[in-house]
Every structure is written in C-alpha cells, then in structure tokens.
Amino acid sequence: MYICVNPVFMKRDEFSGFFGVLVATVGSAVGLGNLWRFPYLVGQNGGAAFILVYLAFVIVICLPIMVAEFVIGRSTKANTVNAFKKLAPGSLWRGIGIMGVIASFCILAFYTVVGGWTVDYLVRSVIHLFSKPDISNLEAQFSQMVTSPLRPIIWTIVFIALSGFIVMSGVKKGIEKYSRVMMPFLFVMIIILAIRSITLPGAEAGISFLLKPDFSKITTETLLDALGQAFFSLSLGMGCMITYGSYIPDKENLTRLSFTTALSDTFFAFLAGLAIMPAVFAFGVSPQEGPGLVFIVLPRIFAQIPLGNVFAIFFFLILFIAAITSVISLMEVITAYLTEQKRIKRTWAVGIISVVVAVCACLSSLSQGLLKDVKIFGKTFFDFFDYLSANILLPIGGLLIVLFVGWRLKRSQVYEQFTNSGSLKGTFFRAFYFLIRYVAPVAIVILFLNVILK
Ligand code: PHE
C-alpha cells in the first residue's frame, strides 16, 4: 500500500467541536498572565481602576482582534506565516507571521522559567504535605531558588519536556486531549480556592480593593500596561489564535467562540484576584509585592490556614496547569510553521524548538542570579523578553493584524468567515467591522505615541 507522507497531501489536523476548540483556546488564554501577572499589575496600579480599564480594552480592542485572528486562521487553514502568504501573496504582510514566530520564542524564553518555578513549588508542596513548612524566610527561600544556577534550570527543562510531549502528540490527540481533562479541573480548583480566600477573617479589605476604583493611579503608562496585559492574557497579536483558528471546524461560530474565550479568561483573572487579594490583605502583606507575589505571599498564607498544605498543592497545581496549556499553544505556533513551511517532521520540529527554548530559558533563569548584571537595553534577559513581547511585539502585532483584516482583506471575505458563508445571522458584524477598522487601530496608536513621546 502506498502511504502518503508528504505533508502537502496529508489531511490537516482539526479540533473536534465547540468544546474541543474552547478548552484549547481558553487553555492558551488562561495562564500565568492571569495568575501571576494580573494580580501584581492590579496591585501596583490601583486595584479596581486598573480592572475597569482592562475590561474596556478587552471588549473594545481585544475581542474584535480575536475574531480577526480566527478569521485569518480558519479561512486559510495554515500556519501564521503561510496564512498571510495565502491571503496577500507576494506582499510584506507575511512579516506579521514571522514576527509571531519570533514573539513566541521570546515569550517561551521567560514563561517556561516561571513554569519551572511552579514545578519546583508544586513538588515541594507535595513533599511537605504532612510537615509544617518553614515560613520564617519565604522571601529568602524564593530568591535563593530563582537565583541558584542549576535548580530552576532543571525544573524549567522538565517543564519544557512535558509541554513538548503534549505538542508532539498532535493537535487533537495531544493539545485537545490534555486540555479537555485539565481545563475543567482548573476552573473547579480556582473556585474552591477563591471561596476559601474570601471567607478568611479580614478578607473584606482585599475584596474592596478589587471592587473600589482609585482613578488617581491611572497614568498613560498604566494604560499601556493594561493594553499589553489584555493582549498577553488573551494570547493575541502573535499568531497564536491564528494557528488555533486554523484548526477550527468550518461549522463553528467564531464570534461565539471569541466571546466565550474572552469571558472565561476575564472571569478566571477575576477569580484569581479573588483567590489572591483577600488573602494578601487578610495577612497584612502589601499588594504591590511584584512578580514574587504568588510565590512569596501565598505560601505564608497556606501555612496559617486549616488544611493549608492541601490548598498549597491545589494552588501550585493550578499554576502548573495554567502555564502548561499556554506553553503548548506557543509551541504550536512554531511547530505548525516548521512542519508546514520547512517540511520538518512534527517530532523533530518539537525537539528543535524545545532545545532552542531551553537555551534561551537558561539565559533568563541565570539572569536572576549569576548573569544579573548582563543587561540588554537596561534590562536583564528575563525582563527584556517579558517587556519586548508583552509591551512591544504583541501590541504592534495586534495593530498590524487589525489593519490587515480591516483594510487589506475584502469586506466580503471577512463577512464570509464571520457568518460561516451566510449560514449565521452576523448580527454583530457591523459593530465588529467598525471596531476593527477604526477604533482598535486608533486606540493602539494613541497609546503607543503617548508612551514613546513622553
Ligand atoms: N495568555 C497566556 C497567559 O495569560 C500567555 C500567552 C501569550 C500564551 C501569548 C500564548 C500566547 O498566561
């Protein structure tokens, strides 16, 4: 029998239905961005005021961009570079796809390091299930772990290998299969944790911090932070949703999918805030702690509540699941590119990506300790990858994507995908098209100029 192995003739993998797509897209969106980045940005930027700005950006700018990315992906059924090549042959627009592949590497370079920390804390909390943890010097414990040369690197490599394994197994048999199990579990656990936290004595201060806005804390810098965070949290501006979009079956409703994904992600971020902030206030810790917030503050809280050791395992398991389902989506962007454009076999492609990411992640990890004085544009490797991706590459990518869909594609092409060739009503199409053409690009440009010209 003749077995066709040429990828051109092979049927492309696909998610299996609405729920299958949803667990994957929500898996990508819900991540360390919600649990680790969002709470400390909220803490540093005036609580509820930041949340309101964030919500406005999600609805007005990010939701339309997500639909736009799905439109690009599903109409071409291709990886991000090829998607732009197919829609605008011979033009420079394919640069957006290439930028997306680069952005994926940049995010993976620091994200997997934090993923490694979560594995470290998870393993530790399992080992200490029956003992009383030492909380006299949590700050020192955290900094000792992240600055040590070998330990975080080993866990980061373990984390990368696990993610690589899932991606290697395929879109339906890997990404979707594992997300189907992990995502519902994740939501149940965060709800339990949030309930535990808001019932702590003294939790009111934290809840009111999340609900009462202090607008005096809002500056243009804050606005860019909120926009960057919205892009980051919804996995937008770098081809991730284009790639996942290319695996969405033709009959699925893209608006409904985008709406549900954005809603779930925002709901999860809010639950994470509810799980973290009341506990932070109840134990008198400053909400402005920064990136170490979840690693330093939470273990102290777990040590002081009944069944704390079990909640600690819960929490680090949540962090781990959230992180890994996002990392696989980032890896898939590059994997789809290498297998389809460069004709590299999936297994090899994932192997190559894992090695390159591991090398970059080592630099990020070491930049917390040994290499902390090596700076690029005044930032350590770790901060450089974070800032470059969230505050620069994603918003620029997002801007180019809306310009492409709003001004380069024909209205009818977009309408066709939006309504599944006319079989859906397309009630929101006019609003969507207006936001994509005018509101989103203008808002992104104004925000950028404000920060650059300052
Ligand atoms: N959305 C993920 C998070 O919130 C991060 C991510 C960004 C994943 C971009 C994929 C692409 O943690």
Q: What is the chain's mean pLDDT, rounded?
A: 87
pLDDT of residue 215: 83
Name the residue with the closest Cα to ligand 1, atom 10.
Answer: 235
Tokens coding 425: 């009503």
Q: Percent of the chain scored above 70 by pLDDT?
A: 95
CA distances for 436 relative to 379, 432, 439, angstroms: 34, 6, 6
pLDDT of residue 307: 81
Kindly tell me if the per-residue pLDDT of 3 is higher than 60.
no
Could you give the CA distance from residue 66 to residue 179 in angstroms, rounded to a whole number? 20
CB 300 within 8 A of CB 273: no
Ligand 1 pocket: which of 25, 28, 34 to mutate (most atoms within 8 A of CB): 28
Kindly tell me if the per-residue pLDDT of 370 is higher than 80.
no
pLDDT of residue 145: 79
The mean pLDDT value for 244-262 works out to: 94
pLDDT bucket at 1, cuts 50 / 70 / 90: very low
**46 or 323, which is more confident?**
323
Cβ count within 10 A of residue 304: 12
Tokens coding 342: 């460069």
Kindly tell me if the per-residue pLDDT of 384 is higher than 70.
yes
The ligand 1 atom at the shortest distance from the C-alpha of residue 30 is 4
Ligand 1 pocket: which of 233, 267, 326, 328 to mutate (most atoms within 8 A of CB): 326
Cβ count within 10 A of residue 146: 21
Could you give the CA distance from residue 114 to residue 101 in angstroms, rounded to a whole number? 20
pLDDT bucket at 4, cuts 50 / 70 / 90: very low
**How far does residue 102's CA lie from ligand 1's centre (Å)?**
14
User: What is the reported pTM?
Assistant: 0.91
Whether 107 lines ligand 1, by a CB cut-off of 6 Å, is yes
Name the residue with the closest Cα to ligand 1, atom 11.
Answer: 235
pLDDT bucket at 290, cuts 50 / 70 / 90: low
Q: What are the pLDDT digits (tens) for 118-143?
A: 999 999 889 877 777 676 777 777 88
The mean pLDDT value for 136-159 works out to: 83
**How far does residue 133's CA lie from ligand 1's centre (Å)?**
32
**How far does residue 234's CA lie from ligand 1's centre (Å)?**
6
SS3 state of residue 376: strand
The mean pLDDT value for 45-49 works out to: 84
**426 or 1, which is more confident?**
426
Q: What is the CA radius of gyration of the chain?
A: 21
The mean pLDDT value for 82-105 works out to: 93
**How far does residue 392's CA lie from ligand 1's centre (Å)?**
15
The mean pLDDT value for 29-46 works out to: 86
Whether 34 lines ligand 1, by a CB cut-off of 6 Å, is yes
pLDDT of residue 227: 87
Could you give the CA distance from residue 13 to residue 28 in angstroms, rounded to a whole number? 18
**How far does residue 326's CA lie from ligand 1's centre (Å)?**
6
Whether 329 lines ligand 1, by a CB cut-off of 6 Å, is yes
The mean pLDDT value for 337-351 works out to: 95
pLDDT bucket at 205, cuts 50 / 70 / 90: confident
**37 or 4, which is more confident?**
37
Kindly tell me if the per-residue pLDDT of 308 is higher than 70.
yes
pLDDT of residue 142: 80
Whether 32 lines ligand 1, by a CB cut-off of 6 Å, is yes
Q: What angle do CA 305, 309, 315 make, to 5 degrees?
A: 95
pLDDT of residue 2: 45
Could you give the CA distance from residue 260 to residue 63 in angstroms, rounded to a whole number? 10
Could you give the CA distance from residue 435 to residue 439 in angstroms, rounded to a whole number? 5
